[in-house]
Amino acid sequence: MGEGLFSFWHIAILAFVIFIVVGPKALVKQWHRATDGIQQLVEGGGSPQKTASAGGSSGSGGKRKRGFAYRVGRLFRRRKR
């Protein structure tokens, strides 16, 4: 149980390093964004992105901000190449 990559100490050290590098405020902010996106996917069954009708005109022409999970998935897909 205590051996291998997924032992308690490996995960604890990894979490500590991520906490130090990213910072506590940014880490909490990203956690809330990820959980909100997951909750919207489960409840709505669709994209976690907010609709344009909720924020104003639909013809704003601006770039739509991508969700956290989308950006992370794209990052991992780029690294595979």
Please report the pLDDT score of residue 53 as a whole number: 45
Question: Does residue 37 contact residue 69 with C-beta atoms inside 8 Å?
Answer: yes
Domain segments of the chain as ranges: 23-46+66-81
CA distance 13 to 19: 10
**For position 28, what pLDDT does the model report?**
85
Q: What pLDDT, in 10s, does the model give residues 25-69?
A: 888 888 889 899 888 888 876 655 554 444 444 445 567 777 787
pLDDT at site 61: 55
Among 11-15, 26-30, 68-72, whose mean pLDDT is lowest? 68-72
Mean pLDDT across the stretch 1-8?
73
From the list 62, 63, 36, the residue with the least C-alpha distance to 48 is 36
User: What is the reported pLDDT for 6?
Assistant: 79
pTM over 0.85: no
